[in-house]
């Protein structure tokens, strides 16, 4: 397995479907942390993931506390527009957990403030945009990581 992609409270089924497709293509496991903004059998989720969804390794958690307690001793990095370090500074390792927040507000303040040393951003070069689409951000991070661990 390359990485663990973690979506905390994802809201848009199409994004999650596309990220699932990316996870399968890159040998990653997808972790979904509830509450989800859609049902897991949502047709938009399946449509974005095409017929690949059935081959994907997906783990679902009831809440962020369940996820964190299960993986507290693992190598986790967090993505936020509030990060001080750029994503290419991440010391990528196989099986690392790449944690992303929900589309509307990102990761909670409690997560970003308590993990500032492991908080990274994908730099933006225009003042007219606040963030990338979640599926695009995950793609950037995963492929940067794959380049680093090869």
pLDDT at 43: 72
Give the up-direction half-sphere exposure of residue 115: CA atoms within 13 A in the CB hemisphere.
23
Band of pLDDT at residue 2, cut at 50, 70 and 90: very high
Annotated binding residue at 101?
yes
pLDDT at 105: 95
Where residue 22 sits, what CATH number does that domain have?
3.40.1280.10
- Collapsed DSSP state (helix, strand, coil) of residue 12: coil
- The four Cα atoms 2, 29, 25, 89 give a dihedral, to 10 degrees, of -50
pLDDT, tens digit (0-9, with 9 covering 90-100), for 64-118: 999 999 998 999 999 999 999 999 999 999 999 999 999 999 999 999 999 999 9
pLDDT at 46: 63
Annotated binding residue at 17?
no
pLDDT, tens digit (0-9, with 9 covering 90-100), for 22-72: 999 999 999 999 999 877 775 765 665 556 778 889 999 999 999 999 998
Domain count, the chain: 1
Domain that holds residue 89: 4-149
pLDDT at 71: 96
């Amino acid at each position: 397995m390359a990485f663990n992609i973690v979506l905390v409270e994802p809201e848009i089924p199409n994004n999650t479907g596309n990220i699932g497709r990316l996870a399968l293509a890159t040998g990653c496991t997808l972790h979904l942390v509830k509450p989800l903004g859609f049902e897991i059998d949502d047709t938009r989720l399946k449509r974005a993931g095409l017929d690949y969804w059935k081959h994907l390794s997906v783990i679902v958690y009831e809440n962020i506390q369940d996820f964190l307690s299960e993986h507290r001793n693992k190598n986790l990095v967090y993505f936020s527009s509030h990060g001080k370090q750029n994503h290419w500074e991440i010391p990528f390792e196989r099986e690392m957990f790449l944690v992303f927040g929900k589309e509307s507000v990102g990761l909670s303040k409690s997560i970003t403030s308590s993990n500032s040393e492991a908080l990274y951003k994908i730099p933006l070069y225009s003042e007219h945009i606040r963030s990338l689409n979640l599926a695009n951000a995950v793609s950037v991070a995963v492929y940067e990581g794959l380049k680093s661990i090869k």
